[in-house]
């Protein structure tokens, strides 16, 4: 393995294919990845450095913040705000968008991120991750909220880092999906999963079954049929997985197929959906579609939605094409 393709080499070779590229994007991506390496180190060391447990505060979503939610948010902001590549940022952990301090130059990109997705798993040592989405922005201006609220189809780049048994980066810039494994010995991400594709067929679904009584009829119908197995309409048995870390469930689907559902539910009328469109659903939808899968609310393609707010929530059905199409059909039937 002397001819490892590092992430740096991969990005530079991709940039060569874009004559108009100025290298700014390449530098921005390197800064994002450096932040994720720092996060990987904190997550891996955990209680050795006292970063587990709750911070005793709530985020804008009214969710109890873990210490690592705040630490990882600060790593992302402090690793990116000085680079001169950004016009602004948005984070799951802050209500308002993040402006670039006046003493730093502004650039032509926006980065939106969930610094630690799945953080309710961190204290029980299950996989968590960082999700990021990069949008182009008018250069040299103070971005307006509307600059941030671009459709997912306008993303320049989307990626996530999964802090699991391996630290894995999954990245798309609109030319397919590639996976990289962090080589801890040299501190570089190495291309290990080129051209990732989601199998069109699957017998594995991911959903939080404890919410079943709150689902809409099309989702009830789909899951019931999966549970009926060989004796039922589907004439095959299904398996279920639910990590409760979006990044981990999506990575599994990218590697062996599957369908993930976090549907609308009527538990809390104020929060009919769980996942946030700007820094969870949109980046994952971009990645999954680039890998040959589909991502829908059940009623519309996620990437076509015009967002109305930075923290807007949407129902998500994503993964193997044939299963997502079936679920969409069940919504149409209803
Ligand atoms: P946390 O970051 O609060 O743990 O939420 C994770 C998440 O947004 C997503 O990663 C999971 O798929 C989903 O929530 C899990 O939701 P449930 O806890 O309701 O199963």
| Cβ neighbours of residue 264 closer than 8 Å, sequence gap 6 or more | 215, 216, 272, 273, 298, 315
Average pLDDT score over the chain: 95
Nearest CA to ligand 1 atom 17: 244
Q: Ligand 1 within 6 A of 258 CB?
A: no
What class, spelled out in words, does domain 7-193 have in CATH? alpha beta
Q: What are phi and psi of 223, to 5 degrees?
A: -70, -40
pLDDT bin (cut points 50, 70, 90) of residue 116 is very high
Q: Are 76 and 26 in contact (CB under 8 A)?
A: no
Of ligand 1's atoms, which has the minimum distance to the CA of residue 128? 10
Residue 295 carries which DSSP code? E
Q: How far is the CA of 186 from the centre of ligand 1 (A)?
A: 32
Q: How far is the CA of 143 from the centre of ligand 1 (A)?
A: 30
pLDDT above 60 (res 31): yes
Instruction: Output the pLDDT for position 1.
Output: 56
Q: How far is the CA of 281 from the centre of ligand 1 (A)?
A: 12
Instruction: Output the pLDDT for position 21.
Output: 74
**Domain range summary for the chain, segments of one domain joined by +:** 7-193, 204-333
For a mutational test of ligand 1's pocket, the pick from 57, 91, 116, 117, i.e. the residue with the most ligand atoms closer than 8 A to its C-beta, is 117
Of ligand 1's atoms, which has the minimum distance to the CA of residue 208? 20
CA geometry: angle 195, 201, 202, nearest 5 deg: 100
Instruction: Output the pLDDT for position 297.
Output: 98
Yes or no: domain 204-333 corresponds to CATH 3.40.190.80: yes
For 141, other C-beta atoms within 10 Å of its C-beta total 12
Instruction: Output the pLDDT for position 18.
Output: 75
The torsion angle over the Cα atoms of residues 216, 221, 224 and 230, rounded to 10 degrees, is -160
Higher pLDDT, 228 or 140: 228
For 268-321, the pLDDT digits (tens) are 888 889 999 999 999 999 999 999 999 999 999 999 999 999 999 999 999 999
Helices (H), the chain: 7-16, 24-45, 67-80, 145-148, 217-228, 246-256, 282-290, 321-333
Q: Ligand 1 within 6 A of 119 CB?
A: yes
Instruction: Name the token pair of 198.
Output: 């989601």
Q: Are 201 and 294 in contact (CB under 8 A)?
A: no
Q: Ligand 1 within 6 A of 244 CB?
A: yes
pLDDT bin (cut points 50, 70, 90) of residue 19 is confident
For 217-247, the pLDDT digits (tens) are 999 999 999 999 999 999 999 999 999 999 9
Instruction: Output the pLDDT for position 172.
Output: 97
Of ligand 1's atoms, which has the minimum distance to the CA of residue 247? 10
For 168-192, the pLDDT digits (tens) are 999 999 999 999 999 999 999 999 9
pLDDT bin (cut points 50, 70, 90) of residue 139 is confident
Instruction: Output the pLDDT for position 271.
Output: 86
Average pLDDT over residues 13-37: 88
For 52-74, the pLDDT digits (tens) are 999 888 887 788 889 999 999 99
For 63-102, the pLDDT digits (tens) are 888 999 999 999 999 999 999 999 999 999 999 999 999 9
Single pTM value for the model:
0.97
């Amino acid at each position: 393995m002397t001819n490892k393709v590092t992430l740096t080499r991969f990005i530079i070779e991709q940039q060569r294919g874009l004559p108009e590229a100025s290298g700014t994007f390449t530098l921005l991506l390197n800064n994002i990845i450096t932040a994720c390496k720092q996060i990987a180190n904190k997550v891996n060391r955990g209680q050795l450095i006292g970063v587990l447990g709750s911070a005793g505060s709530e985020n804008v979503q009214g969710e109890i913040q873990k210490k690592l939610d705040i630490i990882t948010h600060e790593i992302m902001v402090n690793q990116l705000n000085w680079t001169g590549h950004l016009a602004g940022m948005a984070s799951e952990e802050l209500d308002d968008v993040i402006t670039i301090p006046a003493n730093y130059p502004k650039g032509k990109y926006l980065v939106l991120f969930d610094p630690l997705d799945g953080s309710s798993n961190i204290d029980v040592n299950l996989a968590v991750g960082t999700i990021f989405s990069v949008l182009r922005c008018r250069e040299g201006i103070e971005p307006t909220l509307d600059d941030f609220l671009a459709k997912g189809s306008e993303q320049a780049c989307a990626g996530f880092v999964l802090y699991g048994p391996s630290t894995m980066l999954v990245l798309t810039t609109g030319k397919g999906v590639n996976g990289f494994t962090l080589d801890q010995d040299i501190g570089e991400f190495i291309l290990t999963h080129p051209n990732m594709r989601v199998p069109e067929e699957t017998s594995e679904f991911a959903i939080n079954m404890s919410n079943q009584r709150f689902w809409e009829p099309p989702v009830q119908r789909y899951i019931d049929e999966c549970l009926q197995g060989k004796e039922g309409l589907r004439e095959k048995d299904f398996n279920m997985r639910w990590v409760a870390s979006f990044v981990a469930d999506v990575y599994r689907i990218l590697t062996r197929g599957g369908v993930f559902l976090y549907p609308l539910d009527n538990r809390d009328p104020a929060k009919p959906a769980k996942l946030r469109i700007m820094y969870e659903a949109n980046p994952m939808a971009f990645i999954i579609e680039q890998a040959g899968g589909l991502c829908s609310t059940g009623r519309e393609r996620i990437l076509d939605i015009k967002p109305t707010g930075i923290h807007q929530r949407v129902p998500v059905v994503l993964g193997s094409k044939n299963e997502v199409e079936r679920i969409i059909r069940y919504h149409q039937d209803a």
